[in-house]
């Protein structure tokens, strides 16, 4: 039997990468309501085009995101689902979400590599030739744990975090993928 060549992937974080971050006291967070999404967040400029571009280059585009806010009671499930549905115009190949709270001690919450390892199995991914695009140290750490390269999207709150690579904006992302 012929073994299929492993695929390469670009993993994307949601908040601060695909959605504009809401920055409070110098820290980024997800929208806590539909109103917050509409007034303070929204789709990051160039996000859809960046995902289309990485796919055109032959990569899988996979969203991997921690979303503990329903469990913490800061957003209702219904409002969270509306916010998440704003991603539907972006052609991700797959979406992995950790809904746990920190004290659940799950294996999927970034910076643990659970979601990336699940994707690796499901899609036959070569993690060493894949990338994790994020905006916080957790995204850099999960990339390291999973053995892929980290790319930070520049933001005032991550200027002191070191990563394998950085990009000023999503529209320049594809230049880094080789």
- 10 Å CB burial of residue 176 (0-12, 13-18, 19+) is middle
Determine if residue 36 is left, alpha or beta; phi over 0 gives left, psi from -120 to 50 gives alpha, anything else beta.
alpha
Q: Which is nearer to Mg ion, 44 or 60 (CB)?
A: 44
1, exposed or middle or buried, with CB in 10 Å at 0-12, 13-18, 19+?
A: exposed
| 13 a catalytic residue | yes
Closest C-alpha to 7, from 48, 63, 57, 47 = 57
- DSSP letter at 2? P
Which one of Zn ion, Mg ion, none is in contact with 108 (Cβ closer than 5 to 8 A by kind)? Zn ion
Choice among 15, 69, 135, 139 that is catalytic: 15
| Residue 30 interacting partner from Zn ion, Mg ion, none (CB closer than 5 to 8 Å by kind) | none
Query: Which of Zn ion, Mg ion, none binds 135 (CB below 5-8 Å, type-dependent)?
Result: Mg ion
* Residue 22 vs 98, nearer CB to Zn ion: 98
Q: Per-residue string for binding with Mg ion, 91-130, x by CB under 5 A? A: ----------------------------------------
- Residues near Zn ion (CB under 5 A): 98, 100, 106, 108-109
Q: Report the catalytic residues.
A: 13, 15
What residues make contact with Mg ion under the rule CB under 5 A?
Answer: 13, 15-16, 135
């Amino acid at each position: 039997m012929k073994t299929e060549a492993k695929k390469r992937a670009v993993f994307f974080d949601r908040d601060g990468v695909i959605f504009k971050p809401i920055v409070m006291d110098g820290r980024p967070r997800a929208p806590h309501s539909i109103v917050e999404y509409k007034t303070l967040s929204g789709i990051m400029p160039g996000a859809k085009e960046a995902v289309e571009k990485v796919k055109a280059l032959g990569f899988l585009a996979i969203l991997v995101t921690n979303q503990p806010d329903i469990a913490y009671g800061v957003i209702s499930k219904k409002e969270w689902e509306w916010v998440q549905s704003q991603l539907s115009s972006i052609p991700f190949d797959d979406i992995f979400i950790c809904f746990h709270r920190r004290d659940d001690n799950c294996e999927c919450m970034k910076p643990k590599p659970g979601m990336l390892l699940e994707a690796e199995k499901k899609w036959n991914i070569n993690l060493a030739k894949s990338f994790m695009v994020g905006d916080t140290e957790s995204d850099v750490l999960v990339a390291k744990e999973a053995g892929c390269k980290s790319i930070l999207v520049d933001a005032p709150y991550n200027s002191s975090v070191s990563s394998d690579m950085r990009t000023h904006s999503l529209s320049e992302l594809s230049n880094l993928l080789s």
